Each structure stands twice: as C-alpha cells, then as structure tokens.
Amino acid sequence: MTESFFHTLKGHVVHGSVFVTRKEANAVLFDYIEIYYNRVRRHSANGWLSPEAFEQKYIKSLEGSIVHDTV
C-alpha cells in the first residue's frame, strides 16, 4: 500500500516539478496529501468513495444507532 502511495505521489506531484526551496516542496506535498489524497481521491478500500464521502456515509449510518442518555 505504501509503494502505491509513493508511486501516485511521484506521478502527480514530484516528476516534472522543480521546487526552489524545501518550504515550497513541503507546501505542495502537504496540499496534495491533505487536500487531494486524503479527502478527494477515491479508494478501493472504501468502496471507491473518497475518504470524506466514506466518513459522511459512516456517520449517517451511526445516527440511528446512537442512544442519548438523559439523566
């Protein structure tokens, strides 16, 4: 799984890019990982949903099963 991530990262961000500073490279990598890869990109392990969509679906499935304790 890690090898697949790095292959995708290199193909989408690293190859063909020239970063002037390490700070610029860090910012671009952070944006790719946190915005695209972790929130938008669809994952086979999530039924081809993005992590964000999968989380919303999971939260909705829990809504009916939560018991509120009133004391």
Write down the pLDDT at residue 4.
82
Write down the pLDDT at residue 7.
87
How far is residue 32's CA from residue 9's CA, in Å, rounded to a whole number?
8
pLDDT in tens, the chain (71 residues): 678 888 888 898 888 899 999 999 999 999 998 888 878 888 888 899 988 899 999 999 998 776 666 66
pTM of the model: 0.58
Write down the pLDDT at residue 29.
93
Q: Do the Cβ atoms of 10 and 2 come closer than 8 Å?
A: no
**Contacts within 8 Å (CB) and 24+ apart, 37-46:** 37/5, 37/8, 37/9
